Amino acid sequence: MSSNLTLSREDIVRLCERVEGAQTRAYAIPKLTDEYPDMTIADGYAVQSELRRRFIAKGHKLVGWKAGLTSKAKMQQMGVSVPSIGFLTDRMARPENSAITTSDLVHPRVECEVAFVMKETLQGPGCTAADVLAATDYVLPAVEIIDSRFSGFKFDLASVIADNGSSARFVGGGRPRYVEDLDLRTLGVVMEKNGELVGMAASAAVLGHPAEAVAMLVNILAELGENLPAGSFVMSGGITEAVPVKPGDSVVARFQELGSVSMRFT
Ligand code: 0L1
Ligand code: MG
């Protein structure tokens, strides 16, 4: 991927500082391609990797990864055509049933996802969904709280990747299950906000099978010179469309076979 880099090291650091400021102080910024129209996906990952390096240097712990933009609904909603990945740290995790503050977010949205916990390390390229299932310890239901830092949700793939795939918070919960006991393609998922149904879909919405999204993630990691270590927590991508939340909202994601995950926003 490094062969498609157009940004200099100085530009990467400058853009990383811009994204880091927007993430940590919760303000919106214009998409990065307004200033760097030739920015590539490789440039986006270079900024994201620098952000990961800085967070880890500050003591944040890398706990896993997320696949993003993995359903047709999400790609259409966001006007992009290729999935992406982002990293997850301990500072982004929130307990089930907790109150999640929004004052430290820009314009949060929630989406239902299947999360995988890995028992074996996976290395791409060439990782398949079958490899992912064999390396999975268990799956559990999860909600991702995404928070694009770009003004008015106006962005492109290179900018979103630089912004760590809009990662902000995540909540895992429900009933962890072994993958051999489930058909992960046909799980029905319902999202309720303040008691009203706001989203409904089946897990096959994620690239036909959520394990396909994790395989895609492992293969992108290989292009970045990384693997997916045993013990990683992996969000496989939104099954339902992302729904905006504000203080006072309560959200319940109900997954067939996997139970439900709840949270409220303050
Ligand atoms: O998790 C995702 O699907 C990433 C979404 C990136 C774009 C957005 O902020 O909606
Ligand atoms: Mg997501």
Atom of ligand 1 nearest to the CA of 144: 1
For ligand 1, say whether the CB of 163 is within 6 Å of any of its atoms: no
Both tokens of 260, joined, read: 């439900």
Q: What is the pLDDT of residues 163-182, one digit of tens each?
A: 999 999 999 998 999 999 99
Nearest-5° Cα angle at 198, 195 to 199: 130
The percent of residues above 70 in pLDDT, for the chain, comes to 99
> If we measure between CA atoms, which residue out of 217, 223, 187, 218 comes closest to residue 204?
187
For ligand 1, atom 9, name the residue with the nearest CA.
Answer: 148
Q: How far is the CA of 12 from the centre of ligand 1 (A)?
A: 21
Q: For the chain, what is the total number of helices (H) and then of strands (E)?
A: 6, 12
Structural domains present in the chain: 2-265 (3.90.850.10)
The percent of residues above 90 in pLDDT, for the chain, comes to 91
For ligand 1, say whether the CB of 240 is within 6 Å of any of its atoms: no
User: ipTM value of the model?
Assistant: 0.95
Q: How far is the CA of 68 from the centre of ligand 1 (A)?
A: 6
For ligand 1, say whether the CB of 242 is within 6 Å of any of its atoms: yes
Cβ contact 265:249 at 8 Å: yes
Q: How far is the CA of 160 from the centre of ligand 2 (A)?
A: 12
Please state whether 237 falls in left (phi above 0), alpha (psi between -120 and 50) or beta: left
For ligand 1, atom 7, name the residue with the nearest CA.
Answer: 166
For ligand 1, say whether the CB of 166 is within 6 Å of any of its atoms: yes
Q: Which residue has the higher pLDDT, 63 or 1?
A: 63
For ligand 1, atom 1, name the residue with the nearest CA.
Answer: 68
Q: What is the pLDDT of residues 5-47, one digit of tens each?
A: 999 999 999 999 999 999 999 999 999 999 999 999 999 999 9
Q: How confident is the model at residue 71 (pLDDT cuts 50, 70, 90)?
A: confident
